[in-house]
Structure 1
Amino acid sequence: MSETTQPAPTTRRGQAKAARRGELLAAAARQRARRGFVAVRLEDIGAEVGISGPAMYRHFSSKNDVLDELLLDISERLQTGGDEVVARGGSPDEVLRRLVEFHIDVLVTKPDLIAIQDRDLHSLSADARHRVRTLQRRYVETWVSVLVDAAAAAGRALPAEEARVRAHATFGLLNSSPRLPPFDVTRLAALLTDMALAALLVD
C-alpha cells in the first residue's frame, strides 16, 4: 500500500466519512484553483459542502493538511498511471502516445489539481514536498526512458539529459491547458496530443 492510499472503509459510517472527505477535497481543489492557497480557509471549504468550521477538524488538522493530501494524490496518480502505461507494453511509439494521452486525460479530469500543483507547491509541508518531489522525479524518468526508446526506434540516439529537457518542456505545454480559453474537450485532447508528440520528437 502506498503512503497516500487509505484502506477502503468497511462500515457504513466509515464509507460515509470517506465520501464526505472526498467532497471536501474536491471543494478544496475548486476553491484553491480559483483563489489560491492563502485566500482559502478550512471554514470556506466546509461551507461549500455544508460543514461548520469546527467540524472540519474532524477531517483535517489544518489547511496545509488539505493541500498536502491534494498534491500527494495527484502526484501519486501520475506516477502510478505512468508505470501502468509502460507495463501494458507495445512499440515505443505506441507507449509514448499512450503516455501523452494518459497525462492529458488527467489534465482534463483534474484541472483544478494541476493548477494547484503549478501554483502552490511551495506551500506544502516539508515532508509532503519531499514525497511529492520524489514521485514527480519518478514520473519524469518514466517519460525519459520511453522517449529515449522511441528515438532509438526511429534511428536516433537521444541522450537522457536531452530527453529530460524535452519531457519537462512538454509538461509545461500540457499543464498550461487549465488556463486556455474554452474549447471542446475532445478536440482539445487530440490537439494537445499532436502538439506534445511533435514537441517530444522534434529533430
Structure 2
Amino acid sequence: MTQATGEPPHPPPSPLPASAAGAPGPVNPRRAEILAAAAELFARRGFHGVSIGDLGRAVGLTGPALYRHFRGKESVLAEMLLDISRRLLDEGVRRAAVPDPAGALDGLLRWHIAFALDNPALITVHGRELDNVPEAARNQVRRLQRAYVEEWVSVLRRLRPEEPADRTRAAVHACFGLLNSTPHSATDLDREAMADLLHAMAHAALRAPGG
C-alpha cells in the first residue's frame, strides 16, 4: 500500500506478532493502547483516512516510534480484527456449551449484545475494514467469524431441529445485522434498557416460527 505523503520511510517488514499470527501473545499495555486508539480513529475516519503519524500522535508517539510496536497500519488492523474475532469465538464456544439450548441462546445473545454496546468502534471496524487486512490474516479472520456463526447455528438447531441449516444460518446473520447496528443507533435509552430491547428483539426473531 502506498504511504501517505510526509510519513517516515517504512522499515523492513518484521514477522507478525504472535497475537496477529495465530497464537495469543502476552498482553502488552502499550500495544493495547495503540489498538484502542486505532479502533477509534479507524471507526471515525476509515482505515484509509488514518496515517501512521495519526496513530502515533493519538498515543504520544512519533511514526517511527510506533514501528517498534507494529510494522504498519495493516498490522495494526490485522491484530485488531483477529483479536475481536477470537474473543467473540472463545466466549461463544463457552456459552454454546451450556446443556440447555434455551439457556445457551440467552447467553450468546447477552454476550454479543454486551460486546456490541461496550465496543462500538471495534464493531464498526470489524464490519467495515476487513478487506484492508493482508490476505493471510483476512482468511484467518473469516475462518474465526464462520466458526462463531456455527456456534449460534448449533444452538438454534438444538432448539429447532426441523429447521433447515441454511435457513438457520441466514437467521443468525440477520440477527448479527441487528445487534451490530448499535454504533449507528441514535437512542435516548440508557445502556441497560438498550441491551434489554436488543435482547427481546433478537430473541423473538430467532425463536419465531420460520426464524
Decide: shared fold, TM above 0.5: yes
| CA RMSD after TM alignment | 1.4
Structure 2 SS opposite 1:130: helix
- Indicate yes or no: 2:63 matched with 1:58: no
Deviation of 1:151 after TM superposition, in Å, equals 2.1
| Offset from partner CA, 1:58-105 (integer Å, 9 cap, x none) | 011110000001100101111111001123x24211110111111111
Aligned length: 189
- Equivalent residue number for residue 11 of structure 1: none
- Equivalent residue number for residue 196 of structure 2: 190
Q: Which runs of 4+ in 1 moved over 6 A?
A: none
TM-score (norm 1): 0.89
Looking at structure 2, the residues matched to 23 and 4 of structure 1 have their Cα atoms a distance apart, in angstroms, of: 20
- Equivalent residue number for residue 180 of structure 2: 175
User: Contact conserved, 1:148 with 1:163, CA < 8 A, in 2?
Assistant: yes
Gaps of 5+ in 2: 1-17
One-letter amino acid of the counterpart of residue 201, structure 1: R
| Offset from partner CA, 1:104-130 (integer Å, 9 cap, x none) | 111122211110011111111100110
- Equivalent residue number for residue 26 of structure 1: 36
- Indicate yes or no: 2:47 matched with 1:37: yes
Pick the structure with more helix per residue: 1
Deviation of 1:189 after TM superposition, in Å, equals 0.5
| Offset from partner CA, 1:27-48 (integer Å, 9 cap, x none) | 0001111110000111111101
User: Contact conserved, 1:4 with 1:72, CA < 8 A, in 2?
Assistant: no
- Equivalent residue number for residue 13 of structure 1: none
- Indicate yes or no: 2:24 matched with 1:5: yes
Structure 2 SS opposite 1:51: coil
Gaps of 5+ in 1: 9-17
Structure 2 SS opposite 1:115: helix
| Same amino acid, percent of matched pairs | 46
Worse overlay, 95-104 or 181-190: 181-190
Looking at structure 2, the residues matched to 158 and 30 of structure 1 have their Cα atoms a distance apart, in angstroms, of: 40
Match for residue 161 of structure 1 among 156, 163, 166: 166
Match for residue 101 of structure 2 among 87, 92, 102: 92
